[in-house]
Structure 1
Amino acid sequence: MRFALPFLACLSVAAALPAGAQERSFNFALRGGLGVAPEYPGSSSYHATPDLGFTFGALEWGGRKIGAGIGNAPKTGFGLTGSFRYLGERDASDHPELAGLEDIDAAVELGFGVVYREVNWQVFGKVRRGFGGHEGVTGDIGADVIFRPDERWTITAGPRFSLGNDRFADTYFGVDTRTPTFAAYEAEGGLLGAGVEIEATYRLDEAWALEGAVAYEHLLNDAADSPITQAGSEDQWTMRLGVSRAFNWRF
């Protein structure tokens, strides 16, 4: 009984609060599927990889709302978004040209972005911190034109510029000591690639959607000059196809 009274008191207070004060929700979407990507950054060979993604929809708290919500046409002005990227492991035993280089575990990059949207175009910047295979900082700057042929389809297309700090660049493009294949090379961060991406989303209903994208990137600066890339390719293609599910978490 002594525990029931405080609990009932809390319920009474919550019920007495204005409706706006109790309205708190987080709208987001999770994506899962398959993709095709270079076997490691700078590689000329490709492999299948999991496609995992997170999309920020909206956050509502205390009568204030950020974001238009998953599946809705974005409102004009500035907004926030999440940023996520998965990089597979690099195992030297699977690639004879990498003999003598250290293996790199799979990495997950988590971060956020700032976007300015109008109805038919957007510009954005994202920053992420790596966990696992690398602990560097990476980012993307891009812009898109937005096409909406009907209420279900959304197609975006535009340029992309990839950046990374010294720690990230040296992890994937550096060579610590001379190997049978490569001379020692210290890679520095900065602008590491430029390219273009086309993405399409088809909404099945309010919760479910199909998403696909094709992206091309040309490695630049220390990423392009790396002996690892010189043995592989400066041209990097990625493709993905997945299913996303929207969630509305009330708290």
Structure 2
Amino acid sequence: MLIRLATVSSLALGIAAPALAAGPEQTATQPDVMVAAPAPAKPKLMFTLRGGVASNPEYFGSDENAIGADLGFSFNYLSLRNGRTFGNPDPWADSMGLTFGGSFRFIEERKTDDFNELAGLNDIDAAAELGVSMRYGTEHFAAFGEVRRGFGGHEGWVGEVGADAILRPTDRLRLSMGPRLFFGDDAYSDTYFGITAAESSAALPAYDPDGGMVSAGVEFGARYQINDVWGLEGAVTWEKFTDDAADSPIVQQGSDEQWGVRFGVTRVFSIGG
């Protein structure tokens, strides 16, 4: 199962003393206005956390889903003391134009003792994938690409590209839908879809898949803003394994179509400023 994540400154001003009343033969002296130097801007960080429940396949190729936690993190905005800023101070606004960020995915362990149909296969430890992402967004369209490297359960490289059409029926409701393509190298494919000679059996013969496109699918997402800091977010995903992944005996004894559903509550956090 997968677990999928205003600059404030102050200015102090001196206050000029009022001019003294002057008679016909008197003059009033206006004191100099004292202006303090601008105080350094305080660093400020804004981010959003999501927590909820999700239903995902029990393992890649399973024909049954399991219920688990849905956790997510997204970076919104950062202002530094030197005045540089990153992101958008409005946590509910989409980034426009070309932006770069991080990418993370967590894959739970696969213990074959939990699945009779996988008897004889080795266990696979949990894996964390870390990488970078690139996104181009407009008011009603967004496209993205991500590259990650696995640590733990697999040591391979994966990538994902996708695009979304975006609708905004109201100021608080955002809907998105678009295609997804997922890729993995030989190390990734061997880990989750391969079967070594030592693991093979009559039900699961030896199989050595190559890397390439792993799956193609679509995602429908929805987000609703309750107030300035709280929101609701959910998504439905469908993907179909392709090429060598689809031909794996692990997938053929299960299902080459994978459905996922998640729903969570989001909370915006602001630190500093």
Is the structural similarity TM-score above 0.5? Answer: yes
Query: Percent identity over the alignment?
Result: 46
Match of 1:137 among 128, 132, 157: 157
Match of 1:105 among 114, 118, 125: 125
Deviation digits for residues 125-159 of structure 1, max 9, x if unmatched? 11222233223222210000111122211111100
State TM-score, norm by structure 2: 0.79
Higher helix share: 1
Alpha-carbon shift at residue 75 of structure 1 (Å): 4.4
Residue 8 of structure 1: aligned partner: none
Change (3 A) 1:92 1:17: farther
Residue 56 of structure 1: aligned partner: 75
Change (3 A) 1:169 1:81: same
Is the Cα contact below 8 Å between 1:163 and 1:192 reproduced in 2? yes
Q: Quick check: 174-183 or 57-66, which moved more?
A: 57-66
Residue 258 of structure 2: aligned partner: 236
Q: Deviation above 6 Å: which 4+ runs of structure 1? A: none
Distance 2:272 2:187 in 1: 39
Which has more radius of gyration? 2
Structure 1, unmatched stretches of 5+, are 1-15
Residue 185 of structure 1: aligned partner: 207
Q: How many residues align?
A: 235
Is the Cα contact below 8 Å between 2:77 and 2:91 reproduced in 1? no
Is the Cα contact below 8 Å between 1:67 and 1:80 reproduced in 2? no
Match of 1:117 among 119, 127, 137: 137
Q: Quick check: 179-188 or 146-155, which moved more?
A: 179-188
Change (3 A) 1:35 1:231: same
Match of 1:78 among 81, 98, 111: 98
Is the Cα contact below 8 Å between 1:55 and 1:81 reproduced in 2? no
Distance 1:203 1:74 in 2: 13
SS of match in other structure, 1:93 = helix
Q: Quick check: 139-148 or 127-136, which moved more?
A: 127-136
State TM-score, norm by structure 1: 0.86
Distance 1:47 1:113 in 2: 28
Alignment-mate amino acid for residue 157 of structure 1: M
Higher strand share: 1
Alignment-mate amino acid for residue 224 of structure 1: A
Alignment-mate amino acid for residue 245 of structure 1: R
Distance 2:131 2:267 in 1: 20
Distance 2:217 2:176 in 1: 14
